[in-house]
Structure 1
C-alpha cells in the first residue's frame, strides 16, 4: 500500500507540473496581446540609409510603446541601392518579421503570392482609428482581389513628375526654368553647365520620363497611354514618342551631360551632395521646401506633367504585415498608433525634441544639426503626413494644399486595376531579364536607340510579349466591366 501510494503521489505531482507548464505557456502566449505580459518585439524593415541615432530615438519610442500597447519595435533600415534585392530575398526566404515597407508592383506581386497578411478584419478592430484617418481612396486603391494587404501612407495620392534644378546655378546663369516643358528644352542650360562648371554633372543619373500608365513599372513594356482613351495596352518601346525621347537622351549622353557609367552606376545621387544641375523625380505640394531643407541648399522645380492618380502613386508607400509575423494584431496596433498619434509619428520621423529639432511657441519646428547628420529618415516611407509638425518655413496651409493637389488630379485608366501575372509568369520572368539588359542603357541615353530599340523589341517578341499583352487586355476588359 505504501509503495502504491508513493507511485500515485509521484504521478499526481507529475501531472500537476505538466498542467502548470501548459498553463504557463498559454498565459505567456496570450499575454503578448495584454498590458501586463512581456512586451512583444515588432521587427520592422524599411527603406533608407541607416542612421547613427536610430537606437537613441527608438529607446524613447519603445518607452512609449510599452505603456501604450505593451510592445517594442526594432526598426532596421536597408539602404536605397540594396533595398529591392535584399527585401525580396527576405520575403522569398520566409524570414521572420512583422512589418515591411513595400510599394508599387512589388506590393501587388507579393500580396498575390501570399507574402502579406490580409488586413480587412484587423482594420475593423486593432486598426479602427487608422482606417478612419486614411483617405478612403487610398485604401480602395491598394485592394488586391477585394482585400487590403498593406497600409498606404496618407499623403499625396497623385503623381506629378518634375524637373528639379540646383537653384544656385539657376540664379548664377540667369536661367528661366519656367520655359522648360520638354526634355529638349533643357539643352541650352545643360550646355552652359557643361562648359562652365567642371565639378558638376549637368544631369544627375535618371531615366527619361515617358507619359504612360504602367502596368508594372516604367522598365517593363506594358503601358496604357494617358491620352487617346482607347483603353488598349501597348508596348511603349515600339512608340514614336519613346524613340524620339531616347534619341534626345543619347545626344545628351554623347555631349557629356551624363556620367559615362550612367547605365550601370548605383550612385543614388543624394541631394545633400551638390554635384548636379538637374534631376527628375515625383513631386508634391511644397516639395522644394522639403528637399532644400534636407539638402541644405535651395532647389527649384517645374512640372513635366499635370498631376495624375495612378496605382503607383496610391501605392507608393505601404507598410505591410508579413505572413511570417508571430503577432499580426500587435503589428497592427503599432501601425494604428504610428498613423494616428502625433507624438509617436513625429518622434519616429523627426527624432528627439531638443536633440534633432526644436519647437517654437507656435508649435512649429526647426531642424538642429543632428537631424540632418544623424537622424534623417525618409518621411514618405513611414506613414500619415497629416499628423506631422510643420516647419517654421512651411506654409500654414501645407496639408490643405495636399488635399487640393489630390483633388485636382485626373485618374489614370488603370487606377484600381491590378494585373495577376500567374497565367504568364514564365513570360514575365523572361521579359524582366531582357528589360534589365536593355532598359537602363536606353533610358540613360548610353546607347543609340535606332540600333538598340529594334533589338530590344525583337527579343521581347521572342520572349512572348504578345501573349502577355493579350492577357493584360483580357483582365483589364473584365475589370473595366465591373466598374
Structure 2
C-alpha cells in the first residue's frame, strides 16, 4: 500500500465505541433453531469431500424451502434473556431481503480472544466471524478463513467497488483477501478524557498533560480528595490502558511484545517489553495499582464499570458525546495525546471473515454487502429494534431509547450509511475526514507479517503473553519481576525467531 494513496483515504467510522447489554423486550417473536448448524473442524483447511458435503447441504436447505441461518460471532456486551426475540425482528427483514437469517453470537470484551481461539482450534462450526489485527493472520494460517479474493468480486461486485482499494490492500495477506474490511476511520487518534466535575474540583490543567507520567499528579489529587474507595483509573481485563503500545507498529502479528517504533527509519524489529519507555509506563501502572489509584480487581474484572472518572479511547473530539452516554457521565473533557496515524494494523482494526467450512459462503458475503448498502439493516445492527431500543427523529438521525444494545457498531461495516444519534456533533464526520487527511504514517505502513514459517512460535508466544498481559496492563504485577519471567518464557517459545523472521521480511519488503 502506497503512503500517498492511503493518506487520501476519507473514511468515516467509529473507533471502538462500545454498547452493552439490553434489558427490556425487543419483540414478541421467538427464533427457533437458530444456530443449530454444526460442521467440520474450522481450524484446518477443508478437504474436497468436506467442501462437497457443505455444498450439498446448502443446496438441500434451499431446495427444501428451509431458511439458512448464518452463525456470526462478534464481540460486545452481555446479551439479555430476550436477545433472541430481538434477532427475530431483525431476521424478519433479512429474510425479506436475502432469504436468510443470522444468529449473532456475542463474546464479551474480556472473553473475545480466548473464545475465538477456542472456536477455531476446536473446529466449532461458524459462518462469519469478526476479526481484527490481533488474530487475523493467525487464523488465516490455521486455515480457518475462506479465501475471498475472487468471490468478493464475482458474488458481491457492489461491495467490492464500494470499499476503497486501499482498504482491500490493507487486509491482503500473501496476495489474498480473507476478510471484508469495515470502511470507517482508517487512522488512529488517541484521546484521554476526564469527568469535568473532577477537572473543576481539582483544577486539572489538561493542556499540560502529554504523557502517562503527567497523569500522576491529577490522579493523586483525585484519590486524596475522594477517599479510599475511589479509583481515578478504573480498568478491566478487556479494557486495560487503551493505546499502551501506540508508539510501536505491531506488524499485524497480533503479538504486542514485538514491533517497530513508528518513526524508526531503520525499521528495526524489537521486543517492546525490553524498551525503556514501555518499561517505565509499566512501572507507573504498577505504582498506581499499589497506591489505590487503579481498582484492585482490574486484572480479573471482565466488564468495565460505569461513570469512569478518567478513560482513554481512540476516536475524534465529538466522540465525547458517545463516551459520556455510555459511561453515564454528564460531561467529559477530551484532549488528544497521540496521532492521527496510519498503519496496516489500523486498517485491519475491524474486519469480518467467512469460515472455510461455512455451508453458506455466498450468502455470508451478501449479508455483508447488505450491511454496507442498506441503511435500515445497518441501523438495526448498530442500534437494535426501531420503536424499542431506538427511534428515528429525522432523516438519518436516531434517538436511543435505551443505551444497552449489546452489538458494537464498529465491528459490522461502514458508517457511511448508518444514522447518527441525535446528540452527535453534525461535524463529526468532518472531524474524521480531517484526521485522516492530517495523519502521519508508520514507517512500516503497507507491511503485514507473513507468519507461515513461524506460526508455531507465534502461537506459543501468544499463549505466554495471554498468561501475563492482564496483570501487566492493569498494573497488578510488578514489572521488575514479571517482565523478566515473561521474557524468559517468550524467548523459550521462539520470540527471537519471530523477531528474526519479521526483520528479514521487512528488509525484503522495503528494499
Q: TM-score, normalised by structure 2?
A: 0.80
Higher relative contact order (CA 8 A, sep 6+): 2
Give the one of 357, 370, 374 matched to 1:341. Answer: 374
Q: Secondary structure at the match of 1:268?
A: coil
Instruction: Identify the range of structure 1 (319-328 vs 94-103) with the bigger mean alpha-carbon deviation.
Output: 94-103
Give the one of 189, 203, 220 matched to 2:256. Answer: 220
Q: Secondary structure at the match of 1:45?
A: strand
Give the Cα separation in 2 of the matches to 1:352 and 1:437. Answer: 39
User: Alpha carbons of 1:113 and 1:425: their partners in 2 closer, same or farther (altered >3 Å)?
Assistant: closer
> How much does 1:338 deviate?
1.3
Report the equivalent of 2:28. none
Q: Secondary structure at the match of 1:260?
A: coil
Report the equivalent of 1:406. 436
Equivalent pairs, count: 449
> How much does 1:328 deviate?
0.3
Instruction: Identify the range of structure 1 (66-75 vs 330-339) with the bigger mean alpha-carbon deviation.
Output: 66-75
- Asked if the contact 1:342–1:388 (Cα under 8 Å) also holds between the matched residues in 2, the reply is yes
Determine if the alignment matches structure 1 residue 175 to structure 2 residue 204. Answer: yes
Report the equivalent of 2:294. 258
Report the equivalent of 1:418. 448
Give the Cα separation in 2 of the matches to 1:117 and 1:64. Answer: 27
- Asked if the contact 2:253–2:451 (Cα under 8 Å) also holds between the matched residues in 1, the reply is no
Instruction: Identify the range of structure 1 (353-362 vs 185-194) with the bigger mean alpha-carbon deviation.
Output: 353-362
Q: Secondary structure at the match of 1:204?
A: coil
Q: Secondary structure at the match of 1:203?
A: coil
> How much does 1:321 deviate?
0.7
Q: Secondary structure at the match of 2:497?
A: helix
Give the Cα separation in 2 of the matches to 1:68 and 1:216. Answer: 36
> How much does 1:451 deviate?
4.4
For residues 263-282 of structure 1, the C-alpha deviation after alignment (integer angstroms, 9 at most, x for no partner) is x3233314xx22x3222332
> How much does 1:331 deviate?
1.0
Q: Secondary structure at the match of 1:151?
A: strand
Instruction: Identify the range of structure 1 (134-143 vs 394-403) with the bigger mean alpha-carbon deviation.
Output: 394-403
Report the equivalent of 2:276. 240
- Asked if the contact 2:109–2:302 (Cα under 8 Å) also holds between the matched residues in 1, the reply is no
Give the one of 226, 231, 237 matched to 1:201. Answer: 231
Give the one of 264, 267, 277 matched to 2:302. Answer: 267
Report the equivalent of 1:133. 162
Report the equivalent of 1:307. 340
Determine if the alignment matches structure 1 residue 391 to structure 2 residue 421. Answer: yes
Give the one of 119, 136, 154 matched to 1:107. Answer: 136
After superposition, residues 362-401 of structure 1 pair within 5 angstroms as: 362-368=395-401, 371-373=402-404, 375-401=405-431
Give the Cα separation in 2 of the matches to 1:346 and 1:304. Answer: 31
User: Alpha carbons of 1:433 and 1:325: their partners in 2 closer, same or farther (altered >3 Å)?
Assistant: closer
Give the Cα separation in 1 of the matches to 2:441 and 2:128. Answer: 30
Report the equivalent of 2:10. none
After superposition, residues 11-90 of structure 1 pair within 5 angstroms as: 29-30=58-59, 37-52=65-80, 53-90=82-119
Q: Secondary structure at the match of 2:444?
A: coil
For residues 347-367 of structure 1, the C-alpha deviation after alignment (integer angstroms, 9 at most, x for no partner) is 221122222222224542211
> How much does 1:395 deviate?
2.4
- Asked if the contact 1:50–1:76 (Cα under 8 Å) also holds between the matched residues in 2, the reply is no
User: Alpha carbons of 1:285 and 1:119: their partners in 2 closer, same or farther (altered >3 Å)?
Assistant: farther
User: Alpha carbons of 1:160 and 1:43: their partners in 2 closer, same or farther (altered >3 Å)?
Assistant: same
Give the one of 315, 321, 330 matched to 1:283. Answer: 315
- Asked if the contact 2:58–2:359 (Cα under 8 Å) also holds between the matched residues in 1, the reply is no
Report the equivalent of 2:15. none
For residues 171-212 of structure 1, the C-alpha deviation after alignment (integer angstroms, 9 at most, x for no partner) is 333323232101111112111211122343111223482411
Report the equivalent of 2:392. 359
> How much does 1:217 deviate?
6.6
Larger Rg: 1
For residues 405-428 of structure 1, the C-alpha deviation after alignment (integer angstroms, 9 at most, x for no partner) is 223222223333222233334433
User: Alpha carbons of 1:322 and 1:152: their partners in 2 closer, same or farther (altered >3 Å)?
Assistant: same
User: Alpha carbons of 1:91 and 1:464: their partners in 2 closer, same or farther (altered >3 Å)?
Assistant: closer
Q: Secondary structure at the match of 1:248?
A: helix
Instruction: Identify the range of structure 1 (401-410 vs 145-154) with the bigger mean alpha-carbon deviation.
Output: 401-410
After superposition, residues 443-462 of structure 1 pair within 5 angstroms as: 443-462=473-492
User: Alpha carbons of 1:32 and 1:157: their partners in 2 closer, same or farther (altered >3 Å)?
Assistant: farther
Q: Secondary structure at the match of 1:308?
A: strand
Give the Cα separation in 1 of the matches to 2:475 and 2:101. Answer: 48
The structure in which a higher percent of residues are helix is 1
For residues 364-398 of structure 1, the C-alpha deviation after alignment (integer angstroms, 9 at most, x for no partner) is 22111xx324x242111121111111222222233
Report the equivalent of 2:31. none
Question: Unmatched 5+ residue regions in structure 1?
Answer: 1-24
Give the Cα separation in 1 of the matches to 2:391 and 2:119. Answer: 38
User: Alpha carbons of 1:197 and 1:254: their partners in 2 closer, same or farther (altered >3 Å)?
Assistant: same
Report the equivalent of 2:47. none
Report the equivalent of 1:322. 355
> How much does 1:247 deviate?
2.9
Give the one of 463, 466, 477 matched to 2:496. Answer: 466
Report the equivalent of 2:325. 293
Q: TM-score, normalised by structure 1?
A: 0.85
For residues 204-237 of structure 1, the C-alpha deviation after alignment (integer angstroms, 9 at most, x for no partner) is 2234824111135786321101123111111122
Give the Cα separation in 2 of the matches to 1:232 and 1:442. Answer: 24
